[in-house]
Amino acid sequence: MTERVIAQGTFDILHPGHLHYLRDAAALGDELHVIVARRENVTHKAKPVLPDRQRRDMVDALSVVTEAHLGHTDDIFVPIERIRPDVIVLGHDQHHDPEGIRAALDARGIDCEVTRASAREPEYEGELLSTGRIIDRVLEQRGPPPEAPDDPNT
């Protein structure tokens, strides 16, 4: 029997922390399905910079991923019902409450384990493991974009 695993997240700017999370998740089964959150559903942090499809395509290109899916616009459990996982792996620092997710899965008749991936510490000085920190570094080193002129003919 194939063990299906789901990981999920925003995956705005891919970095080593994402890869660690997905490798951790993939190690728990035979197939890794990744649900990429739609921009409109991201409410717990800044909205993604990159478009939904681009983020999904980048995650799907990773060899550790069997298939990447965009999340549902109205109900985050719709893709989970379709994939029917054996395990859902949450990122080590994701805001989701595992007990709340288990209760919602039980209410929908989905029997699967919910666990968390391990944390990954930077392996060398300056390694960035967060999209927010990458964006901060870009702004710090390159500064804010120049103001656009009001008159496009200038």
The stretches in the chain having pLDDT less than 50 are none
Q: According to the model, what pLDDT value does residue 151 have?
A: 58
DSSP letters, 84-136, are --SEEEE-TT----HHHHHHHHHHTT---EEEEPPP---SSTT----HHHHHH
Beta bridge partners of 8: 35
Q: According to the annotation, is 17 in a ligand binding site?
A: yes
pTM over cut 0.75 = yes
Q: According to the annotation, is 10 in a ligand binding site?
A: yes
CA dist 57 and 91 (Å) reads 20
The domains of the chain, with CATH numbers, are 4-120 (3.40.50.620)
Q: According to the model, what pLDDT value does residue 37 have?
A: 95
Single-letter amino acid code for the residue at 33: H
CB 45 within 8 A of CB 11: no
C-alpha radius of gyration, the chain, whole number: 18
Q: According to the annotation, is 126 in a ligand binding site?
A: no
Q: According to the annotation, is 11 in a ligand binding site?
A: yes
Q: According to the annotation, is 154 in a ligand binding site?
A: no
Q: According to the model, what pLDDT value does residue 56 have?
A: 98
Q: According to the model, what pLDDT value does residue 20 have?
A: 96
Q: According to the annotation, is 16 in a ligand binding site?
A: yes
Q: According to the model, what pLDDT value does residue 1 have?
A: 65
Residues 95-121 pLDDT 10s = 888 899 999 999 999 999 999 999 999
Q: According to the annotation, is 95 in a ligand binding site?
A: no
CB 91 within 8 A of CB 117: yes
